[in-house]
Amino acid sequence: MANVTIEPSWKEALNEEFTKPYFKILTNFLKTEKAAGKAIYPPGSLIFNAYNTTPIDKVKVVILGQDPYHNPGQAMGLSFSVPKGTRIPPSLRNINQELNTSLDLPIPDHGDLTTWAEQGVFLINAMLTVEHKQPGSHQRSGWQFFTDASIKAVSDRRENVVFMLWGAFACKKAVLIDKSKHLVLESPHPSPFSAHKGFFGNDHFKLANEYLMEHGKEAVDWSIG
């Protein structure tokens, strides 16, 4: 990751992580995988896209995913997001459906969530890389330590942030968050396998904006422009 850069406020907040043994092991792992000819997603320039688009002092909402998308042209370093012109994945279609039902927003024709990230929605995956067509392939790479530290940094350094934790994996991260000064919203995952078990109708986007405004912050425009 020699040519990969991370936004200065995040670099300062996570400075200790870059010097820990696991991060060196992680870096070597990625170098070895690429040297072996394996396709890794997202491309190097987008690995820290969530961090570079949403500085830590701008974070208002955190939406935690698990893995980047593992098909070509999908992963862009923002959880649940895909570039314009790419087919919208099933979980994101269900997110759009919940936005339509809860906030009466139109169903968008693309899945690029950059406008959310620019407003302070930290779209972070627990694993920041994945191998082509191998979901979960980097779950033991060390990324989990880095992203756990990222979640904790937001909890420690910010106040009145909304954390949206969808699915059992994400909900386990609640232990990293100080609930006395943040709002933690939990529900089933928007995946087609679980969306009907409580994701639909959770009103998380509406509840997030109500909480933000109650604490003097600007609501998020959840429409996908």
Q: Roughly how many angstroms between the first and final C-alpha of the chain, as a whole number?
A: 32
Catalytically annotated residues: 67
Range 23-31, long-range pairs (CB < 8 A, 24+ positions): 23/142, 23/145, 23/146, 25/142, 26/141, 26/142, 26/143, 26/146, 27/1, 29/138, 29/141, 29/142, 30/1, 30/129, 30/141
Q: How many CB atoms lie within 10 A of CB 12?
A: 11
**DSSP result, 64-102:** EESS---STTT--SSTT---TTSPPPHHHHHHHHHHHHH
Q: What residues form DSSP beta bridges with 124?
A: 64
Rounded to 5°, the CA angle 40-45-47 comes to 60
In the block, tokens 């627990």 appear at: 126
Both tokens of residue 52?
A: 């570079």
Q: Where are the alpha helices (DSSP H) in 104-176?
A: 114-118, 143-157, 168-171
